Amino acid sequence: MKKILCLLLAMTMTFGCLTACGSKDTSDPADNGAATGSSESIEGAFKLGAVGPLTGDAAIYGQAVVNGAQIAVDEINASDSTVKFELNKQDDEADGEKSKNAYNNLMDWGMQILVGPTTSGAATAVAAQVYSDRTFMITPSGSSPDVIDGKDNVFQVCFSDPNQGTGAADYIAENMADAKIAIIYRNDDAYSQGIRDTFVEEAEAKGLEVVTEGTFTADTATDFTVQLTDAQSKGADLLFLPIYYQPASIILNQANAMGYAPTFFGVDGMDGILTLENFDTSLAEGVMLLTPFSADATDDLTKNFVAKYQEAYGEIPNQFAADAYDAVYVVKAAIEAAGCTADMSAADICEALVAAMPTLTYNGLTGQNMTWQATGEVSKAPMAVVIKDGVYTLPN
Amino acid sequence: MEFLSYLISGISLGSVYAIIALGYTMVYGIAKMLNFAHGDVIMVGGYISFCATTYLGLPAVVSILLAMAVCTVLGIVIEGLAYKPLRAAPSLAVLITAIGVSYLLQNSALLIWGAAAKSYTPIISGTLQLFGGKLSIQYISILTVIVCLVIMAGLTLFTSKSKMGKAMRACSEDKGAAQLMGINVNQTISVTFAIGSALAAVAGVLLCSYSPSLMPTTGSMPGIKAFTAAVFGGIGSIPGAFLGGILLGVIEALAKAYISMQLANAIVFAVLIVVLLVKPTGLLGKKVMEKV
């Protein structure tokens, strides 16, 4: 009996791991079919590939990225620009191996420039291959420093994770200097851990008070009452959440049920919380997040993009869509600066664009005066928004 | 005061584990098989209740009844299609089938409801404030504990007093002899699955009210924890599942609060190992002689 139980328990554990991965192994064939469909061939157009999770847990990000890129490509092709694009979208389910397969599919298709992958893990995996293949890659939202580390031909449109942690701490130091801060982060996730590390470092440097830190992992992302009780009892009035929106939604719910109402402060992973199905957006009232893009901004560029996106996809674009839109325009600007033509090989285009990138200054949806270092890192000012009546608004 | 709130969150989480563990333990006790799809039936229950309240606008109570009805049917269908043909097969084959069913349910949910998480509206919200607001207890925690106690008492009565309950106990002791005594073993096992699945639906609703996020994999980790709870308390024993569930929840919450958040799960399983070393049948498990 004892042996049987031990065996069964061991099996359960294995099974647990299997189910955890299982969610990624599944894909919707219908979506895949749609994903591979590319716009019809255009004479003299650059072949652009976009990769992101179109199915799976992080589908909301990947779909935003390919949609945003599509809008930019359509705009450019409809304009009188001499640079034209042909876009091919591939699903990677936010998985490194699948992302490499998606990249290889795109290379077979004849891709010259890669816009993607969307998530950090997948982007890091593909970046290594792109570096040895010498293909130019610009990731809209792969924010880990590992994505660009040591690869001269890989660039980011979004902030890197350390920048987000530092930016958040700077913002709090400037606007809420005497806040008692609690942090809840996911310590088996490089994204969350990375932001938390730089945040704590910068908070210390700025003299901010971090009263407590709570952690969770993928397996324990369902119950936060202990972490919240701990934060509440230590008197924290600002809760920093460098995590994705899905666990954040549970935290908001459970804090509300406990009657604990600190200021919640998130980073770009929090983007998407308002689109979570059936989520009571009143819970997110007053949540602050660091995002380079606000759909409510009143400049013409944003208004035009939001209107087109809503018309085409029926929803308000998030930051990922804006990052992808910018990425395509940055590629266009770099091509023009480098004087590339569509009949050049991917490797030649890559060398030309790598040389051109640090010379660019680009004004886009996700920032003014964006510039790039040769390392691939972007420089732009972070912006904090606060959720008010279910939309992002600028804090006053 | 914090200790009390940690204890309370542990007890309410433990109660959810206990309800799930009751389903595991009943099926194991009677059919002598581990229904690994149990955790995924919980997920289906959550989704049905979610759809009923969100898309159809039904009240919470109706959505629970609907979820129970759907899960009961689902349980019977799973049993009939996947497990019944394997009644005479080695237990490993049934185990693998159960894992297959678990995948089938998860992937079907992925196809039907999509991968993006959905936010579940708790069936009751609000908090009870005690000691001038120093201690707050969520109503859902109180409800979970009450429901768990009622279910446990109900099941104990059912298995000891009712005719079907007696048939279940007879089957659990010796299927062949029970059949010779005129008990319809197949029907008894089907009823067990029906009850277990209805419990899973209740557990699903309570779990999602407690942790209001619904994904196709929502049921897998609580399912594993509950299985652990069932083994902890002595698999096959109804009070054992209850005790195991509550203890597991409390150990988890207190370990998180006072020892280490990162090691909470490791501590839970370490305690389980110690218990099994000292008492291999679990806390309340009975030693059954294997007949050769």
The tens digit of pLDDT for each residue in A212-250 reads 999 998 878 888 988 998 999 899 999 999 998 888 999
Residues of B with Cβ-Cβ distance to A226 under 8 angstroms: 6, 9, 253, 256-257, 261
B134 band by pLDDT with thresholds 50, 70 and 90: confident
CA atoms within 13 A on the CB side of A287: 32
pLDDT at A112 over 50: yes
Whether B228 sits inside 8 A of A219 (CB atoms) is no
Please report, to the nearest 10 degrees, the dihedral formed by the alpha carbons of residues A133, A136, A137, A138 taken in order. 170
pLDDT of residue A276: 81
CA atoms within 13 A on the CB side of B274: 6
**Which value does ipTM take for this structure?**
0.76
Residues of B with Cβ-Cβ distance to A257 under 8 angstroms: 122, 125-127, 138, 140
pLDDT of residue B289: 59
- Choose the mutation target among B55, B99, B220 for the interface with A, i.e. most A CBs under 10 Å: B220
Residue B235 to residue A134: CA distance in whole angstroms: 59
- Choose the mutation target among A3, A14, A15, A18 for the interface with B, i.e. most B CBs under 10 Å: A15
Whether A19 sits inside 8 A of B102 (CB atoms) is yes
* Contact by Cβ (8 Å): A228, A255: yes
Closest chain A CA to residue B102: A19
Residues of B with Cβ-Cβ distance to A276 under 8 angstroms: 116-119
Structure tokens belonging to residue A222? 């369902």
Whether B9 sits inside 8 A of A230 (CB atoms) is no
Domain ranges for chain B: 2-113+136-278
pLDDT at B133 over 70: no
pLDDT at A20 over 70: no
Structure tokens belonging to residue A45? 């157009």
pLDDT at B262 over 90: no
* Mean pLDDT (chain B, rounded): 87
Radius of gyration (C-alpha) of chain B in whole angstroms: 19
- Choose the mutation target among A225, A258, A281 for the interface with B, i.e. most B CBs under 10 Å: A225
Radius of gyration (C-alpha) of chain A in whole angstroms: 21
Structure tokens belonging to residue A150? 């040591």
Closest Cβ–Cβ partner in A6, A16, A253 for B221: A16
- Choose the mutation target among B213, B232, B288 for the interface with A, i.e. most A CBs under 10 Å: B213
- Per-residue pLDDT tens digits for B13-33: 899 999 999 988 888 888 888
Q: Which helix (H) or strand (E) holds B81?
A: none
* Contact by Cβ (8 Å): B25, B230: yes
Closest Cβ–Cβ partner in B125, B133, B207 for A257: B125
Given the candidates 3.40.50.2300, 3.40.190.80, 1.10.3720.10, 3.90.1150.10, the CATH classification of the domain at A162-291 is 3.40.50.2300
* Contact by Cβ (8 Å): B120, B209: yes
Domain ranges for chain A: 38-159+300-379, 162-291
Whether B138 sits inside 8 A of A258 (CB atoms) is yes
* One-letter amino acid of A123: A
Candidate from B64-73, B133-142, B166-175, B263-272 with smallest mean pLDDT: B133-142
Q: How many CB atoms lie within 10 A of CB B282?
A: 26
Closest Cβ–Cβ partner in B125, B213, B288 for A250: B213
Residues of A with Cβ-Cβ distance to B127 under 8 angstroms: 257-259
Whether B276 sits inside 8 A of A249 (CB atoms) is no
Whether A257 sits inside 8 A of B126 (CB atoms) is yes
What number is the average pLDDT over the span A142-150? 88
A331 band by pLDDT with thresholds 50, 70 and 90: very high
CATH T-level topology, domain A38-159+300-379: Rossmann fold (3.40.50)
Residues of B with Cβ-Cβ distance to A28 under 8 angstroms: 110-111
What number is the average pLDDT over the span A331-348? 91
- Choose the mutation target among B50, B228, B261, B277 for the interface with A, i.e. most A CBs under 10 Å: B261
What number is the average pLDDT over the span A157-182? 87
Residue B208 to residue B105: CA distance in whole angstroms: 18
Q: Which helix (H) or strand (E) holds A50?
A: strand A46-52
pLDDT at A32 over 50: no
A-B contacts at Cβ under 8 angstroms: 153
Candidate from A18-27, B28-37, B104-113, B250-259 with smallest mean pLDDT: A18-27
Residue B178 to residue B30: CA distance in whole angstroms: 12
Share of chain A above pLDDT 90, in %: 43
Closest chain A CA to residue B279: A2
Structure tokens belonging to residue B227? 């299985």
Whether A279 sits inside 8 A of B217 (CB atoms) is no
Residue partners of A59: CB distance under 8 A and separation at least 6:
A53, B114, B115, B116
Residue A347 to residue A337: CA distance in whole angstroms: 17
pLDDT of residue A166: 86
Whether A280 sits inside 8 A of B102 (CB atoms) is no
pLDDT at A31 over 70: no
Whether B50 sits inside 8 A of A278 (CB atoms) is yes
Beta-ladder partners of B138 = B127
What number is the average pLDDT over the span B7-12? 88
| Helices marked H in A80-220 | 96-109, 120-133, 145-148, 161-175, 190-205
* Contact by Cβ (8 Å): B253, B3: no
pLDDT of residue A11: 55
pLDDT at B111 over 90: no
B83 Cα to chain A: minimum distance (Å): 18
What number is the average pLDDT over the span B234-243? 88
pLDDT of residue A35: 41
Q: Is the peptide bond before A140 cis (omega within 30 degrees of 0)?
A: no
CA atoms within 13 A on the CB side of B267: 18
Whether A254 sits inside 8 A of B95 (CB atoms) is no
A226 Cα to chain B: minimum distance (Å): 6
Q: Do A162-291 and A38-159+300-379 fall under one CATH topology?
A: yes
What number is the average pLDDT over the span B4-12? 87
Candidate from A15-19, A225-229, A382-386 with smallest mean pLDDT: A15-19
A40 vs A90, residue with greater confidence: A90
A155 vs A394, residue with greater confidence: A155
* Contact by Cβ (8 Å): A304, A50: no
Candidate from A27-41, A165-179, B81-95 with smallest mean pLDDT: A27-41
pLDDT of residue A9: 56
Candidate from A121-125, B115-119, B177-181, B256-260 with smallest mean pLDDT: B115-119
Cα A320 from chain centroid?
6
Q: What share of chain B is helix, strand, coil (3-state, %, to 5)?
A: 75, 5, 25
Residues of B with Cβ-Cβ distance to A9 under 8 angstroms: 228, 231, 272
B166 vs A275, residue with greater confidence: B166
Label residue B234 left, alpha or beta by phi (over 0 means left) and psi (-120 to 50 means alpha). left
Closest chain B CA to residue A20: B217
pLDDT at B39 over 50: yes
pLDDT of residue A12: 54
Share of chain A above pLDDT 70, in %: 89
pLDDT at B138 over 70: yes
B120 Cα to chain A: minimum distance (Å): 7
* One-letter amino acid of B265: N
Residues of A with Cβ-Cβ distance to B114 under 8 angstroms: 59
Q: What CATH class is the domain B2-113+136-278? A: mainly alpha
Whether B253 sits inside 8 A of A226 (CB atoms) is yes
What number is the average pLDDT over the span B184-190? 89
Residue A245 to residue A279: CA distance in whole angstroms: 11
pLDDT of residue B268: 86
Cα A136 from chain centroid?
19
Please report, to the nearest 10 degrees, the dihedral formed by the alpha carbons of residues A327, A332, A333, A338 taken in order. 120
* One-letter amino acid of B224: I
pLDDT of residue A19: 44
pLDDT of residue A23: 40
* Mean pLDDT (chain A, rounded): 84
Closest by Cα among A321, A173, A295 to A240: A173
Closest chain B CA to residue A23: B217
The CA distances from residue A369 to A361, A362, A394, in Å, are: 6, 5, 20
Whether B106 sits inside 8 A of A277 (CB atoms) is no
- Choose the mutation target among B7, B119, B254 for the interface with A, i.e. most A CBs under 10 Å: B119
pLDDT of residue B291: 52
Closest Cβ–Cβ partner in A2, A220, A246 for B264: A220
Residue A322 to residue A291: CA distance in whole angstroms: 11
pLDDT at B273 over 60: yes
Whether B290 sits inside 8 A of A1 (CB atoms) is yes
What number is the average pLDDT over the span A189-214? 90
